Chain A
Amino acid sequence: MIVAEHLTKYYGERAAVDDVSFIIKQGEVVGLLGLNGAGKTTILRILSGLLVPTSGRVSIAGVDLAANPEEVRAHIGFLPEQPPLYPEMTVTAFLAFVARIKGLRKNIAAAVREALEVTDLVAVADDRIGTLSHGYMRRVGIAQAVVHRPPLVLLDEPTSGLDPVQIVHMRKLIRSLAGNHTVIVSSHILGEIHQLCDRILVVKQGRIAAEGAEEELAGKVATATVVKVEVRGDAAQLATVLKGLPLVSRHTVNREAAGVTEATIEMTSDGREALSAAVIRAGLGLRRLERVTLELESIFLELTGGQQPEVRS
Chain B
Amino acid sequence: MRNVWWIVRRELGSYLRSPAGYIIIFAVLVLDGLLFNAFAIGAGAKKSSEVLEHFFYFSSGSILVGSVFVSMRLIAEERQTGTLALLATSPVAEWQLILGKYVSALTFLAVMTGLTFYMPILVMVNGKVSLAHILAGYFGLLLIGGAALALGMVASALAPNQLVAAVLAATAVVVFLLLWLLSRIASPPIDTLVAYLSLHDKHFRPFMRGIISIQDVVFYVSLIYVSLLVATRVLEARRWR
Q: Taking beta carbons and an 8 Å cutoff, which residues of A are in contact with B?
A: 11, 48-52, 70-71, 73-74, 76, 78, 80, 82-89, 93, 97-98, 100-103, 144
Q: CB distance A74 to B82 under 8 Å?
A: no
How far apart sit A74 and B7, CA to CA, in the bound complex (Å)?
16
In the complex, whether B91 has a CB less than 8 A from a CB of chain A is yes
Query: A-facing mask of B1-27, CB < 8 A → 1, else 0?
Result: 011001100100110011000000000
Q: CB distance B3 to A88 under 8 Å?
A: no
Within the complex, the shortest CB–CB distance from B157 to chain A, in Å, comes to: 16
Query: Which residues from A are CB-within-8-Å of B86?
Result: 78, 84, 98, 144
Q: What are 29 A-B pairs with beta-carbon distances under 8 A?
A: A48-B85, A49-B88, A50-B85, A50-B88, A50-B89, A51-B239, A70-B91, A70-B93, A74-B91, A78-B85, A84-B81, A84-B84, A84-B85, A85-B82, A85-B83, A86-B10, A86-B81, A88-B14, A89-B10, A93-B13, A98-B90, A100-B6, A101-B3, A101-B90, A101-B92, A102-B91, A103-B90, A103-B91, A144-B86
In the complex, whether B118 has a CB less than 8 A from a CB of chain A is no
Interface residues in B19-50 by Cβ distance below 8 A to A read none
Q: B96: nearest residue on chain A (CB-CB)?
A: A101
Q: CB distance B10 to A76 under 8 Å?
A: no
Query: Which residues from B are CB-within-8-Å of A89?
Result: 10, 13-14, 17
How far apart sit A103 and B3, CA to CA, in the bound complex (Å)?
8
How far apart sit A264 and B205, CA to CA, in the bound complex (Å)?
88
Q: Taking beta carbons and an 8 Å cutoff, which residues of B are in contact with A?
A: 2-3, 6-7, 10, 13-14, 17-18, 81-93, 239-241
Within the complex, the shortest CB–CB distance from B105 to chain A, in Å, comes to: 16
Within the complex, the shortest CB–CB distance from A61 to chain B, in Å, comes to: 14
Query: Which residues from A are CB-within-8-Å of B18?
Result: 88
Query: Which residues from B are CB-within-8-Å of A97?
Result: 6, 10
Instruction: Count chain A CB atoms within 10 A of each CB in B7, B81, B85, B91 and give the residue with the most.
Output: B91
Q: B97: nearest residue on chain A (CB-CB)?
A: A101
- Further contacts, 9 of them, CB under 8 A, given A48-B85, A52-B240: A71-B91, A82-B81, A88-B13, A88-B18, A98-B90, A100-B6, A101-B3, A101-B90, A101-B91
Within the complex, the shortest CB–CB distance from B91 to chain A, in Å, comes to: 4
Asked whether A80 and B82 contact (CB < 8 A) given A89-B17, A101-B90, A103-B91, the answer is yes
Query: Which residues from B are CB-within-8-Å of A71?
Result: 91
Query: Which residues from A are CB-within-8-Å of B92?
Result: 70, 101
Q: Is the interface of A mostly helix, strand, loop or mixed?
A: loop
Q: B236: nearest residue on chain A (CB-CB)?
A: A52
Query: Which residues from B are CB-within-8-Å of A86?
Result: 10, 14, 81, 83
Within the complex, the shortest CB–CB distance from B173 to chain A, in Å, comes to: 27
Within the complex, the shortest CB–CB distance from B16 to chain A, in Å, comes to: 9
Q: Which of A48, A88, A100 contacts B17 (CB under 8 A)?
A: A88
Q: CB distance A83 to B82 under 8 Å?
A: yes
Within the complex, the shortest CB–CB distance from B50 to chain A, in Å, comes to: 43
Asked whether A73 and B90 contact (CB < 8 A) given A52-B239, A89-B13, A101-B3, the answer is yes
Q: CB distance A50 to B239 under 8 Å?
A: yes
Q: CB distance A84 to B82 under 8 Å?
A: yes
Q: CB distance A102 to B239 under 8 Å?
A: no
Q: CB distance A76 to B89 under 8 Å?
A: yes
Query: Which residues from A are CB-within-8-Å of B93?
Result: 70
Within the complex, the shortest CB–CB distance from A120 to chain B, in Å, comes to: 21
Within the complex, the shortest CB–CB distance from B218 to chain A, in Å, comes to: 32
Asked whether A101 and B7 contact (CB < 8 A) given A76-B89, A84-B82, A144-B86, the answer is yes
Within the complex, the shortest CB–CB distance from A77 to chain B, in Å, comes to: 9
Q: A48: nearest residue on chain B (CB-CB)?
A: B89
